[in-house]
Amino acid sequence: MNELERDLVKYKEDLRNTKEILKETQNKLTGREKSLVKISEKFSSAKKNLDSVSEDKLNVDIELTRLKPELEELKKKELRANENIVRLESELRFSSEKVADMEQNLNFKNKEIENHKTEMEKKKNEIDILKGIIKENREETEELIKKIKSIETQLAEVKAAPIILERIREVMRHKGFLADRELELIFKEFE
């Protein structure tokens, strides 16, 4: 976009310079036209003297011959300048349209960005809420795991209790009593 603006400024500057050259050229042309009028007046007054008229005519012819190529060159320059002006005006219109399109696209993109930001904020809030829920669930799960382990330990002890009792009965049947050491060995078997 900056490059287009620089090009536009450059084209405007070229156009301004071309207009100044054209104005200068037109001023010179006007001055030369005035010179031609003066020469014509001199030619009219010089009719009295034939020698003087011939000399003035010769001077006028020389001046006209010298001015004709310059005039043709100035006409060519004026034509090129007009072509440049038309081309630059067309480029300026195209650049202006392009800038307007770019501004419209930029506004559209800015609106999209704002919408995405709003959506992102909503999603972030949802994620924060879900993180909180996950944290609560994790803590709850950890508590449940601890309870399950505790229950499993108690269940293992409960399952082992009839077997332990059966062993104690067997020892008591054979010996009639149970030593503390024998009881510890029986418990160690089921840990």
* Residue type at 36 in one-letter notation: L
pLDDT tens profile 13-29:
888 999 999 999 988 88
pLDDT number for residue 53: 52
The radius of gyration of the chain's CA atoms, rounded to the nearest angstrom, is 55
Question: Pick the residue with more confidence: 161 or 38?
Answer: 38
Percentage with pLDDT > 90 across the chain: 20
User: Is residue 6 over pLDDT 70?
Assistant: yes
pLDDT number for residue 134: 93
Task: Report how far residue 17's alpha carbon sits from residue 81's, in angstroms, rounded to the nearest whole number.
Answer: 10
Task: Report how far residue 158's alpha carbon sits from residue 150's, in angstroms, rounded to the nearest whole number.
Answer: 12
Question: Pick the residue with more confidence: 39 or 190?
Answer: 39
Question: Pick the residue with more confidence: 57 or 62?
Answer: 62
pTM: 0.35
pLDDT tens profile 119-134:
999 999 999 999 999 9
User: Is residue 36 over pLDDT 70?
Assistant: yes
Task: Report how far residue 63's alpha carbon sits from residue 4's, in angstroms, rounded to the nearest whole number.
Answer: 47
Any idea where the domains of the chain sit in the sequence? 2-132, 145-189
pLDDT tens profile 59-117:
878 877 887 888 888 889 889 989 998 988 898 888 888 888 889 999 998 898 999 89
pLDDT number for residue 129: 93
- E strand or H helix at 109, and its extent? helix 50-175
Average confidence (pLDDT) over 39-61: 69
